[in-house]
């Protein structure tokens, strides 16, 4: 069971997202995160999808995705050097000496404090999934009020890009 | 030329060369029906249920190789069509299904007869479109035909809101000559090196098998397959969907493989050292227990759909491409190599195969006082000179038709394999007959299946499609009963149909000829009479042995070499 980051260029058509989501549910594939947003080309969206499975399953997933008529291009980022990022916002209970401790933790993870009340902070952290997981482990569960994560997105290293 | 959306729909069909459109009217498609009324180029076939429309279009497509076209209204019209769309999808049949939709302004408001057709059909179409703008209508229809018929074929739905077809709004019309879809480029040519590697492997084979499927028929590659198989001199077996693309009466043909395949075909699979799979998708009815599938074989797989390759069974040499193009190139490479069928000694292999063949695994009691369904199919084959188009429903009768009607040509055997849709046979036969008005068309069915689309007998009368319905009436959902006999200690839970109609009078009520056959000796005269009545639809209600089972059978969890044979056929000596 390896983790794969699959990056897709897909026609910006109504229903394109449901074709991808439907494929995963209909075939029982695992989907960890899914992000979609416009690209430099208004006719297409970029979708980044994190999944895991045996080599055979992941091979089927990429073949089935490629088979969708709306899918223009697809790469499995995990097969070559790439950069991955995820954005997380965490609302934490912060009172008394905890305020200082959380600020320190935030510095270590190069996070930003976006909102402050007498009893809470909203902290923004970006990075790889593992870094965000580590940040959360650093805060006691009962201090966490809310966690919002964007899901992973990524880009290959080097000068080559994904185009139609 | 300025046309309304409704006129554009009809005009596109004409420009696409569509002969028939199978449909049923309703509110959201009335503008289109009005446009159809005012022309004679495209002929509309009015069915009695939208499921029938999709199956009839499907039968037309399977038998002619041209796409089948369907027109239904929104809401219930579209949902009724879904079974037929899914049936075509599972067997990769090209259909273009036009569905009416509520006007754009009210989409999403739970308007009268609104349903999310795009959402409902999404998992069972190759692609679907919601036409959002009149200016895109012609282009979308062109794309639909293009996608449906190229690569791995399949059904495409075009959902058309009613206001798009408004007769008062006209725009200039031109049917696009070509289409380019940047995200869709099916691969036609196979990778040359892979083909070379495959040829090397074939050359070294001592116990080779060729296993082919529906892809050879879909890709019109029958001739290329025959040339290659004869040149190689290898044994060949086919899936339920592949029958007819290699002549069944030829000595190299071992019959169908899989769950109800022949002993020789399944044993050949189990013991082969090289397997050449062509346009087949390693379905679970074919492979049996995967862990035991072709344990000693290196596998070559030719398929136009990369997702069919190594999906359930890992293959050694994948070749993605169109079957005809690949087979022709393979033949060229073979001829240029030092391969000679005679120099490659596989005579021991053939000797094993002949030994397996000698068990006569399809044998049945020919002296029974009851009508044996297998014998009915043999007699049908004799009476039609093996030349009929045969559709079927789903059940035991379907398997007997596949085993006993020896199809020598492609596109003659028309059945629902992947979805296994009861109700398919009769409407499909109507579609076949419209595509081949001069041919003999038989629908082999069972008393349960036929009742799922029996209303289409009215369609058969309206269009004078003289088809022969051969109802192998065993009084049971035979296939279900057989499983219950084998796996549930003969507890026949709900598989007996107590209140069967009088099919003869039912056929007559629909304006057709009905004949009941109760004695083995009466089968042949009844068949002859039915086909003599060339233009009439004849319903033969043949009372067959209710206890008959389909053999051989690979039961769940078993491998190819673990077939259950008919009582009295023993392979113990062989298996020891
Ligand atoms: C009651 C019942 C019992 C059954 N028992 C059996 C049985 O005993 N044996 C059996 O075989 N089946 C049986 N079936 C049918 C079974 O369910 C499958 O439908 C069937 O085996 C699939 O056949 P296929 O592999 O030829 O695939 P198809 O569904 O015909 O698929 C065709 C393949 O060819 C490819 N293809 C299409 N066009 C091209 C082209 N131009 N070039 C290259 N490739 C192409 C496609 O991508 C696909 O992979 C049974 C069905 C029923 C309802
Ligand atoms: C629409 C649908 N419902 C249920 C089934 C399950 N099924 C498969 S075969 C069969 C019985 C068919 O009986 P009949 O048409 O009499 O054929 P026989 O097996 O007796 O030849 C059933 C219920 C199916 N294939 N399709
Ligand atoms: Mg029956």
Find residue B540's DSSP bridge partners: B470, B515
CA B452 to ligand 2: nearest atom: 1
Residues B501-518 have a mean pLDDT of 98
What is the full DSSP assignment across B264-332?
A: HHHHHHHH-SEEEEES----HHHH-SGGGSSTT-EEEEEES-GGGTTSSS--SEEEES-HHHHHHHHHH
Asked if B123 lies within 8 A of A26 by C-beta distance, the reply is: yes
- Decide: helix, strand or coil at residue A76: strand
CA separation for the pair B523, B547 (Å, rounded): 19
Those residues of chain A whose CB sits closer than 8 Å to some CB in chain B are 11, 14-15, 18-19, 22, 26, 56, 59-60, 63-64, 66-67, 69-72, 164
Residues B385-407 have a mean pLDDT of 98
CA separation for the pair A16, B329 (Å, rounded): 37
B317 alpha-carbon distance from chain centroid = 27
Q: What angle do CA B411, B126, B427 make, to 5 degrees?
A: 45
The answer to whether A3 and A50 are in contact (CB under 8 A) is yes
CA separation for the pair B367, B385 (Å, rounded): 24
Say what the pLDDT of residue A161 is.
85
Find residue B514's DSSP bridge partners: B539
CA separation for the pair B140, B5 (Å, rounded): 12
CA separation for the pair B377, B396 (Å, rounded): 12
Say what the pLDDT of residue B96 is.
98
Contacts of B567 (CB under 8 A, 6+ apart): none
Say what the pLDDT of residue B573 is.
53
CA separation for the pair A52, A61 (Å, rounded): 10
Closest chain A C-alpha to B306 CA, distance in angstroms: 7
Closest chain B C-alpha to A75 CA, distance in angstroms: 14
Asked if A64 lies within 8 A of B307 by C-beta distance, the reply is: yes
Query: Is the beta carbon of B92 within 6 A of some atom in ligand 1?
Result: yes
Asked if B123 lies within 8 A of A64 by C-beta distance, the reply is: no
Asked if B182 lies within 8 A of A164 by C-beta distance, the reply is: yes
Size (chain B), residues: 576
In angstroms, what is the span from residue B481 Cα to ligand 2's centroid? Answer: 10
pLDDT in tens, B292-306: 999 999 999 999 999
> Is B479 annotated as catalytic?
yes
The answer to whether B327 and B220 are in contact (CB under 8 A) is no
> Is B126 annotated as catalytic?
no
- The DSSP call for residue B394 is S
Asked if B182 lies within 8 A of A63 by C-beta distance, the reply is: no
Those residues of chain B whose CB sits closer than 8 Å to some CB in chain A are 118-119, 122-123, 126-127, 130, 132, 147, 181-184, 305-307, 310-311, 314
Q: Does the pLDDT at position A90 exceed 60? A: yes
> Is B112 annotated as catalytic?
yes
Residues B558-567 have a mean pLDDT of 93
Say what the pLDDT of residue B342 is.
55
Of B114, B129, B126, B96, residue with least CA distance to A13: B129
Residue of chain B whose alpha carbon sits nearest to that of A61? B307
Say what the pLDDT of residue B576 is.
38
Q: Does the pLDDT at position B574 exceed 80? A: no
Percent of chain A whose pLDDT exceeds 70: 100
Q: Which of B118, B130, B307 sits opposite A63 (nearest CB)?
A: B307
Mean pLDDT of chain B, nearest integer: 96
Say what the pLDDT of residue B572 is.
57
CA separation for the pair A135, B342 (Å, rounded): 72
Residues B341-360 have a mean pLDDT of 88
CA separation for the pair A12, A53 (Å, rounded): 28
- Among residues B50, B114, B264, B379, the one annotated as catalytic is B50
Q: Does the pLDDT at position B260 exceed 80? A: yes
Residue of chain B whose alpha carbon sits nearest to that of A57? B311
The answer to whether A92 and A116 are in contact (CB under 8 A) is no
In angstroms, what is the span from residue B459 Cα to ligand 3's centroid? Answer: 24
- Among residues B126, B142, B143, B162, the one annotated as catalytic is B162
Of B194, B193, B208, B196, residue with least CA distance to B298: B208
First vs last Cα of chain A: how many Å apart?
30
CA separation for the pair B412, B406 (Å, rounded): 10
Say what the pLDDT of residue B338 is.
80
Continuous H helices in chain A: 16-26, 55-67, 98-108, 129-137
CA B238 to ligand 1: nearest atom: 11
CA separation for the pair B555, A149 (Å, rounded): 49
Say what the pLDDT of residue A64 is.
97
- E strands present in B20-67: 20-23, 43-46
Residues A85-104 have a mean pLDDT of 95
Residues B452-460 have a mean pLDDT of 98
Of B219, B228, B139, B133, residue with least CA distance to B175: B139
């Amino acid at each position: 069971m390896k983790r794969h980051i699959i990056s897709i260029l897909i026609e910006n058509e109504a229903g394109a997202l449901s074709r991808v989501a439907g494929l995963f549910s209909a075939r029982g594939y695992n989907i960890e995160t899914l992000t979609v947003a416009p690209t430099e080309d208004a006719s297409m969206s970029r979708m980044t999808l994190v999944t895991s499975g045996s080599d055979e399953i992941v091979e089927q997933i990429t073949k089935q995705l490629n088979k969708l008529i709306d899918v223009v291009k697809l790469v499995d980022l995990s097969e070559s050097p790439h950069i991955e990022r995820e954005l997380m916002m965490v609302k934490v209970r912060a009172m008394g000496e905890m305020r200082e401790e959380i600020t320190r933790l935030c510095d270590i993870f190069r996070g930003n404090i976006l909102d402050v009340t007498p009893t809470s902070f909203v902290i923004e952290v970006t990075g790889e999934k593992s870094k965000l997981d580590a940040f959360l482990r650093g805060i006691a569960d009962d201090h966490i009020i809310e966690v919002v994560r964007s899901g992973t997105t990524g880009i290959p290293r080097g000068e080559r890009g994904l185009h139609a | 030329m300025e046309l309304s959306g409704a006129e554009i729909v009809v005009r596109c069909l004409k420009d696409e060369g569509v002969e028939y459109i199978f449909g049923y009217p309703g509110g959201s498609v009335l503008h289109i029906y009005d446009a159809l009324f005012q022309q004679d180029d495209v002929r509309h076939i009015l069915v009695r249920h939208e499921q029938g429309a999709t199956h009839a279009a499907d039968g037309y497509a399977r038998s002619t190789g041209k796409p089948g076209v369907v027109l239904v209204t929104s809401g219930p019209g579209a949902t009724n069509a879904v079974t037929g769309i899914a049936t075509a999808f599972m067997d990769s049949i090209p259909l273009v299904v036009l569905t009416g939709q509520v006007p754009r302004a009210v989409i999403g408001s739970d308007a009268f007869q609104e349903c999310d057709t795009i959402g409902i059909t999404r998992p069972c179409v190759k692609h679907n479109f919601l036409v959002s703008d009149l200016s895109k209508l012609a282009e979308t229809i062109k794309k639909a035909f293009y996608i449906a018929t190229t690569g791995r074929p399949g059904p495409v739905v075009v959902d058309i809101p009613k206001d798009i077809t408004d007769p008062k709004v006209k725009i200039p019309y031109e049917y696009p000559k070509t289409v380019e879809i940047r995200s869709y480029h099916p691969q036609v040519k196979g990778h040359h090196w892979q083909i070379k590697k495959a040829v090397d492997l074939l050359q070294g084979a001592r116990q080779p098998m060729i296993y082919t499927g529906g892809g050879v028929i879909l890709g019109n590659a029958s001739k290329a397959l025959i040339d290659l198989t004869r040149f190689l001199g290898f044994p060949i077996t086919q899936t339920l969907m592949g029958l007819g693309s290699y002549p069944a009466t030829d000595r190299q043909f071992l019959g169908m493989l899989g769950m109800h395949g022949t002993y020789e075909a399944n044993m050949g699979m189990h013991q082969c050292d090289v397997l050449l799979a062509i346009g087949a998708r390693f379905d679970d009815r074919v492979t049996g227990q995967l862990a035991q599938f072709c344990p000693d074989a290196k596998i070559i797989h030719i398929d136009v759909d990369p997702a069919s390759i190594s999906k359930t069974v890992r293959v050694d040499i994948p070749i993605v491409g169109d079957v005809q193009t690949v087979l022709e190139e393979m033949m060229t490479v073979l001829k240029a190599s030092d391969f000679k069928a005679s120099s490659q000694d596989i005579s021991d292999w053939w000797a094993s195969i002949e030994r397996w063949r000698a068990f006569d695994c399809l044998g049945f009691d020919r002296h029974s006082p009851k009508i044996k369904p297998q014998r009915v199919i043999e007699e049908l084959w004799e009476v039609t000179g093996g030349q009929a188009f045969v559709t079927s429903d789903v059940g035991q009768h379907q398997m007997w038709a596949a085993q006993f009607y020896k199809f020598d040509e492609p596109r003659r055997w028309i059945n629902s394999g992947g979805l296994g849709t009861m109700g398919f046979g009769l409407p499909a036969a109507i579609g076949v007959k419209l595509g081949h008005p001069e041919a003999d068309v038989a629908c082999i069915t069972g008393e349960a299946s036929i009742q799922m689309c029996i209303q289409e007998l009215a369609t058969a009368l309206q269009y004078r499609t003289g088809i022969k319905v051969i109802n192998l009436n065993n009084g049971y959902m035979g296939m279900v009963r057989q499983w219950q006999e084998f796996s549930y200690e003969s507890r026949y839970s709900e598989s007996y149909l107590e209140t069967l109609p009088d099919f003869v009078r039912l056929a007559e009520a629909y304006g057709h000829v009905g004949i009941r056959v109760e004695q083995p000796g009466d089968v042949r005269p009844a068949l002859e009479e039915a086909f003599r009545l060339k233009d009439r639809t004849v319903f033969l209600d043949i009372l067959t042995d209710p206890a008959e089972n389909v053999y051989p059978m690979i039961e769940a969890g078993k491998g190819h070499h673990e077939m259950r044979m008919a009582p009295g056929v023993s392979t113990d000596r062989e298996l020891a």
